[in-house]
A and B are shown apart, each in its own frame.
Chain A
Amino acid sequence: MKKLINRREFLRLSALTAVGTAAAACGAQPTPTKAPEPTAVPAAKVEPTKAPEPTKAPAAPAATKAPEPTKAPAAPVSQYKEAPMLAELVKAGKLPPVDARLPKKPCVFPVQESVGKYGGTLRRAFSGVSDRWGPTKFVDRFWVWYDKSLNLQPRIIESWQVTPDAKTWTLKLREGMKWSDGKEYTSDDTMWWYQYELQNKKLNPAIPSQWRSAKTKKIVKLEVPDKYTLKFTYDDPKPLFLYGIARSVAGPNTPSHYMKELHEDTTSDKAKLAEDVKKRGFDSWDRYYLDFAQYWYANPERPFLGGWLAKGALSKELFIMERNPYFWAVDKEGNQLPYIDKITHRLFENAEVLNLWVTNGEIDFQNRHMSVANYTLYKQAEQKGDYKVLLGISAGHVAIQLNLTTKNKLLREFFNERKVRIAISHAINRNQINELVFNGLLKPRQYSPLPMSPNYYEKLSNAYLEYNPDLANKLLDEAGYSKKGSDGIRLHKDGTTPISFVIEGTDQTGTPTEDAALLVSKDLAKIGIKATYKYVERALYTQHYESNEIEAAWWGGDRTVVPLASEAPIFRATMIDRPWAPAWGLYYMDPNNPNAEEPPQGHWIRTIWKIWDEEVAVEPDPQKQNEAFKKILDIWAEELPYIGILGEQPALVIVKNGFKNYLPGMPIDDTTADEHLLHTETYFWDDPAKHTT
């Protein structure tokens, strides 16, 4: 609760004070009090505020550079401290001193356990270019990012302001902030992006929804009054503006001095550019620009603002990232971040090899690809591999979607009966499934925001969870489905057709989730409903839901940490791979879609859309916004469009002993970059010398 109030207070202030100012979480002075976390972390074993670097790093309080106090007496006293490997470069004259590399007011990142030590390598694994999210989620954060309580805080920008009508957002950049090549980052960079990228028809055939007004569809207006100010003006309110960009990384953060040479309209050497496009195997410039040139991980030469920079190609067996000497954040004692020198991602073809790497202690920090099914395996090898399995909380749910718009008329009538959905929910023995399939690690709950979410709504989370087949039978009888066939299966209202449907899912035979689906189908058989689980190949599954040829689906539900950040697509039925009402969802997005269908007048789904369009999506006051969203959740709690079964699945995070500043118990969701919700740049090794390979 406390989190909620903090967040509301904080954001309301910004809205109310006419042109309210967002706090400067990354404050001017590197003082501990500025850290946005108000309370100490309960779980953290805080190392009693000891001097951070007893031996290795620049320990001497005022020493300029590197660990040789005797040799640099004449040097001016440096305000900030830096990693030894950078200090050496400075000494060799290859890099400007740390004070000159940092912006005037560096961002101060809070540390979760203690101030860290410099050095070491972090070993992780990924499965190839299409799995680049392993590396990218580690570093990709934008102008703003979440703090531990899931409030947005300024990050690259110094502060933001928003007008009370939520139409104009003014962002203040940090003076003197540098790209990784040492050039300053200013509003010119964003302006160049706005002119040459966003409005380039080849690169953006349609303006992305983030950058256009919701109703007029017109492009946002960007003004840059000075070198460090960006002013975005929309025709309609855009209260979710900051959420929409929290994780993007290219876009408005474009190093224009570099990118303009790779842009066909602004390059000074067209022939050379064309040559490069061809050499890299692209058949058009726009593909070259969009798939290669603009991304730091694909194009290591592109200047970047992240904590680590790509060294070498992502398509190789080992992808290496090395610290960015110009990274613009420090800890509370003025040490330039990040602490860790190098992050490596090793390519694996097969999960079993990854498991062996983990149990052999060759993986230092990893959540991605760590399956809960292997919990015991990982636990058993903790000692041998010298690591611990920490638990985060996954945003995913085990759930069934009954297609309320299925083409089968009788089934549609059946699913659309509220009592039927509630009966089905009561018929499922959640505890049994949890024990038999998931070792009791999950929690019975409906699909709903997680407890740590600002949108947590207990009524929905706990709605109709009780296992009560008698009640379920009674509800079905009341709903008019009391007649049964000779085989005990209930009959539809036509009196002859047995109630039978197929639950399609992409969980293959033998997987735990498939076991769970089979148990659900047994539970439903007990109340006279025949529901058969059927594995379908995922491309086929996609075809089925896109064309609304699906009766019911077995696909979980995530985006439950900060649902508003992704515009709550599941709650509005617009994310049709969770097909609880695909035809209606398609209608809402585009009435002309051949598979779209208008929902009946007065249907509750129209109320959901109305609340979203007229209240949530235009409301600048975050408190009122959450209140409005709660109304949608309340409709969910009453109508139960989605049958949630289990949730709060523990997410396994392998953490090598001696790895610090990572906290267990964090939510793990795409929106908040999986296991990287906390500042990855503050991770460090207790004994960096031991981790140098």
Chain B
Amino acid sequence: MLVYIARRVLLMIPTIFLISIISFVAIQLPPGDFMTSYVAGLRTMGENIEQEAIDNLRERYGLGQPVYVQYIKWISGIILRGDWGQSMEWQKPVKDLIGERILLTVVLSLVSLLVSWFIAIPIGVYSATHQYSILDYVMSIISFIGVGVPGFLLALIIMYFAQTRLNLNVGGLFSQEYINAPWSVERVIDMLKHLWIPVLILAVEGTAGGIRTTRANLLDELNKPYVELARAKGLSEWKLIWKYPVRIALNPFFSTVGWSLASLISGATLISVVLSLQTTGPMQLRALTSQDMYLAGSFLLILSVLTVIGTLISDILLAWVDPRIRLEK
């Protein structure tokens, strides 16, 4: 087991290195550079900027240099000095920018992930064991709607509803007066007033998918001979279901830990954009569209590292949960 993990960790290094090159180059593939999109953005808002000034800026940001020079500058900064470079759009070190937003992002994603698992698994199990019962139909309909309705649309609807019917103020995670306030009971209460909207939306999305997966997988397992045998041997139904088939039915959850880890940071981007949440998702999206290379590159790098680590974790988890999986060749 240890050898296996060590081998995987060693393999991760060239993988991440390759990903970093590809992502850095990919960011630069669209025509133009940060300055082009910056200037175009200014002009659509009716701002005036002289060509001379643009050329000076481009020079200053080193945008005229070849891609590999920019890449080496960036990656060596990260490896040698832990310096992720500076965001051109925000005029701030990338490290600080991501650091400021990461806590809220992880809290939000983690809460919604857990909420959706805690709801999805029991309902999925119930649906599978009571296939074609009325409740199964009801759950299926609800979960199909959940899978079918895009999160951002749901976000818009809930936001509109919350504002017009419940008279809540929406957008962001705090009311304006609490944004810069120090942590206090009132601030937490204010946050909870806002947090339920994204959690609800994210949970609906995650739960719906989770119910479908659990149900389908469990149905496959329930007809297998070992279930029959266990039942024949007189094992109690509760213990039988939860101890054997459910464990196997949950494999997909564990094999997706790899992505879940990355989505802790980039997850729910679209919903965060719609709800104006100050999480890392919208910042990442914006960095990509404005070709803010160092910020976008850093995000992609972090995400790929998390994905690679997550994949390793999910492999280990799978081996642990499902005894049929062997690590040896």
B40: which of A315, A359, A395, A538 is its contact (CB, 8 Å)? A538
Q: Roughly how many angstroms separate A205 CA and B55 CA in the complex, as a whole number?
A: 10
* A543 in contact with B46 (CB, 8 Å): no
**A205-B59 CB under 8 A given contacts A349-B277, A543-B31, A693-B177:** yes
* B86 in contact with A283 (CB, 8 Å): yes
Q: Roughly how many angstroms separate A47 CA and B273 CA in the complex, as a whole number?
A: 44
B96: which of A133, A281, A541 is its contact (CB, 8 Å)? A281
**A589 — which chain B residues lie within 8 A by C-beta?**
51
Identity of the chain A residue whose Cβ is nearest the Cβ of B43 in the assembled complex: A577
B46: which of A320, A349, A669 is its contact (CB, 8 Å)? A669
**B160 — which chain A residues lie within 8 A by C-beta?**
356
Name the interface residues of B15-42: CB closer than 8 Å to any CB of A: 30-32, 36-41
Name the interface residues of B225-276: CB closer than 8 Å to any CB of A: 272-276
Identity of the chain A residue whose Cβ is nearest the Cβ of B156 in the assembled complex: A352
**A281-B282 CB under 8 A given contacts A353-B275, A577-B43, A693-B177:** no
A394 to chain B, nearest CB (A): 8
A584 to chain B, nearest CB (A): 16
> Is B89's CB within 8 Å of the partner chain A?
yes
B89: which of A128, A344, A540 is its contact (CB, 8 Å)? A128
B176: which of A280, A312, A346 is its contact (CB, 8 Å)? A346
> Is A566's CB within 8 Å of the partner chain B?
yes
Identity of the chain B residue whose Cβ is nearest the Cβ of A131 in the assembled complex: B45
B179: which of A280, A346, A368 is its contact (CB, 8 Å)? A346
B197 to chain A, nearest CB (A): 11
A287: which of B31, B60, B93 is its contact (CB, 8 Å)? B60
Identity of the chain B residue whose Cβ is nearest the Cβ of A555 in the assembled complex: B43
> Is A110's CB within 8 Å of the partner chain B?
no
**A368-B45 CB under 8 A given contacts A317-B179, A356-B160, A542-B32:** yes
* A539 in contact with B32 (CB, 8 Å): yes
Specify which of A129, A356, A577 lies most central, judged by the most chain B CB atoms within 10 Å of its CB. A356
**B30 — which chain A residues lie within 8 A by C-beta?**
537, 539
Identity of the chain B residue whose Cβ is nearest the Cβ of A283 in the assembled complex: B86
* A348 in contact with B171 (CB, 8 Å): yes
Specify which of A208, A313, A542 lies most central, judged by the most chain B CB atoms within 10 Å of its CB. A542
Q: Roughly how many angstroms separate A282 CA and B294 CA in the complex, as a whole number?
A: 12
**B93 — which chain A residues lie within 8 A by C-beta?**
280-281
> Is A506's CB within 8 Å of the partner chain B?
yes
**B275 — which chain A residues lie within 8 A by C-beta?**
349-350, 353
**A205 — which chain B residues lie within 8 A by C-beta?**
56, 59
**A670-B46 CB under 8 A given contacts A123-B176, A318-B179, A352-B274:** yes
* B97 in contact with A543 (CB, 8 Å): no
Specify which of B31, B47, B97 lies most central, judged by the most chain A CB atoms within 10 Å of its CB. B31
* A129 in contact with B91 (CB, 8 Å): yes
* B278 in contact with A347 (CB, 8 Å): yes
**A280 — which chain B residues lie within 8 A by C-beta?**
92-93
**A209-B163 CB under 8 A given contacts A539-B36, A558-B46:** no
Q: Roughly how many angstroms separate A298 CA and B156 CA in the complex, as a whole number?
A: 33
> Is B90's CB within 8 Å of the partner chain A?
yes
**A538 — which chain B residues lie within 8 A by C-beta?**
36-37, 40, 44
* A281 in contact with B85 (CB, 8 Å): yes
Q: Roughly how many angstroms separate A539 CA and B291 CA in the complex, as a whole number?
A: 11
**A318-B91 CB under 8 A given contacts A290-B60, A356-B170:** no
**A674 — which chain B residues lie within 8 A by C-beta?**
46
* A693 in contact with B176 (CB, 8 Å): yes
> Is B290's CB within 8 Å of the partner chain A?
yes
> Is B83's CB within 8 Å of the partner chain A?
yes
A282: which of B48, B51, B86, B97 is its contact (CB, 8 Å)? B86
* A395 in contact with B179 (CB, 8 Å): no
Q: Roughly how many angstroms separate A254 CA and B225 CA in the complex, as a whole number?
A: 84
Q: Roughly how many angstroms separate A88 CA and B23 CA in the complex, as a whole number?
A: 56
**A350-B274 CB under 8 A given contacts A315-B97, A356-B160:** yes
**A344-B36 CB under 8 A given contacts A209-B52, A286-B60, A287-B60:** no
Q: Roughly how many angstroms separate A669 CA and B56 CA in the complex, as a whole number?
A: 25
Q: Roughly how many angstroms separate A131 CA and B272 CA in the complex, as a whole number?
A: 19
A331 to chain B, nearest CB (A): 29
Q: Roughly how many angstroms separate A283 CA and B76 CA in the complex, as a whole number?
A: 13
* B44 in contact with A129 (CB, 8 Å): no
> Is A130's CB within 8 Å of the partner chain B?
yes
Q: Roughly how many angstroms separate A128 CA and B289 CA in the complex, as a whole number?
A: 14
* A543 in contact with B85 (CB, 8 Å): no
B169 to chain A, nearest CB (A): 6
> Is B328's CB within 8 Å of the partner chain A?
no
Q: Roughly how many angstroms separate A287 CA and B176 CA in the complex, as a whole number?
A: 33
> Is B184's CB within 8 Å of the partner chain A?
no
Q: Roughly how many angstroms separate A165 CA and B95 CA in the complex, as a whole number?
A: 55
Name the interface residues of A281-299: CB closer than 8 Å to any CB of B: 281-284, 286-287, 290-292, 298
A243 to chain B, nearest CB (A): 12
Name the interface residues of A169-198: CB closer than 8 Å to any CB of B: none
* B89 in contact with A353 (CB, 8 Å): no
Q: Roughly how many angstroms separate A464 CA and B156 CA in the complex, as a whole number?
A: 45
> Is A671's CB within 8 Å of the partner chain B?
yes
* B282 in contact with A318 (CB, 8 Å): no
Q: Roughly how many angstroms separate A478 CA and B184 CA in the complex, as a whole number?
A: 79
* A349 in contact with B91 (CB, 8 Å): no
**A352 — which chain B residues lie within 8 A by C-beta?**
156, 159, 274
> Is A625's CB within 8 Å of the partner chain B?
no
Q: Roughly how many angstroms separate A133 CA and B44 CA in the complex, as a whole number?
A: 13
* B45 in contact with A133 (CB, 8 Å): yes
Q: Roughly how many angstroms separate A130 CA and B292 CA in the complex, as a whole number?
A: 11
**A130-B89 CB under 8 A given contacts A209-B52, A316-B180, A538-B40:** yes
* A320 in contact with B276 (CB, 8 Å): no
Identity of the chain A residue whose Cβ is nearest the Cβ of B278 in the assembled complex: A317
Q: Roughly how many angstroms separate A525 CA and B277 CA in the complex, as a whole number?
A: 47
Binary per-residue interface labels of chain A (344-374) against chain B in the complex, 1 for a CB within 8 Å, 0 otherwise: 1011111011101101101000001000000
**B171 — which chain A residues lie within 8 A by C-beta?**
348, 353-354, 356-357
> Is A28's CB within 8 Å of the partner chain B?
no
Identity of the chain A residue whose Cβ is nearest the Cβ of B89 in the assembled complex: A130
A249 to chain B, nearest CB (A): 14
A132 to chain B, nearest CB (A): 9
* A315 in contact with B47 (CB, 8 Å): no
> Is B286's CB within 8 Å of the partner chain A?
yes
Q: Roughly how many angstroms separate A353 CA and B100 CA in the complex, as a whole number?
A: 22
> Is A559's CB within 8 Å of the partner chain B?
yes
> Is A206's CB within 8 Å of the partner chain B?
yes
**B273 — which chain A residues lie within 8 A by C-beta?**
349-350
A540: which of B31, B90, B180, B272 is its contact (CB, 8 Å)? B31
B100 to chain A, nearest CB (A): 8
**A281-B179 CB under 8 A given contacts A315-B92, A349-B273, A671-B48:** no
Q: Roughly how many angstroms separate A455 CA and B242 CA in the complex, as a whole number?
A: 82
> Is A135's CB within 8 Å of the partner chain B?
no
Q: Roughly how many angstroms separate A671 CA and B46 CA in the complex, as a whole number?
A: 9
Q: Roughly how many angstroms separate A206 CA and B94 CA in the complex, as a whole number?
A: 30
> Is A396's CB within 8 Å of the partner chain B?
yes
Q: Roughly how many angstroms separate A348 CA and B173 CA in the complex, as a whole number?
A: 12
Binary per-residue interface labels of chain A (533-571) against chain B in the complex, 1 for a CB within 8 Å, 0 otherwise: 000011111110000000000000011000000100000
* B47 in contact with A542 (CB, 8 Å): no
Q: Roughly how many angstroms separate A171 CA and B96 CA in the complex, as a whole number?
A: 43
Identity of the chain A residue whose Cβ is nearest the Cβ of B73 in the assembled complex: A283
Name the interface residues of A556-607: CB closer than 8 Å to any CB of B: 558-559, 566, 577, 589
**A129 — which chain B residues lie within 8 A by C-beta?**
89-92
**A354 — which chain B residues lie within 8 A by C-beta?**
171
A572 to chain B, nearest CB (A): 14
- What are 10 A-B contacts with C-beta separation under 8 Å? A123-B176, A206-B52, A280-B92, A287-B60, A315-B90, A316-B100, A349-B274, A356-B160, A542-B36, A670-B48
Given A281-B85, A315-B91, 8 other A-B residues pairs in contact with their CB atoms under 8 A: A129-B91, A130-B41, A280-B92, A292-B91, A316-B180, A353-B274, A539-B31, A674-B46
- What 7 pairs between A and B have smallest CB-CB spacing? A281-B93, A539-B32, A353-B171, A353-B276, A281-B86, A538-B40, A318-B179
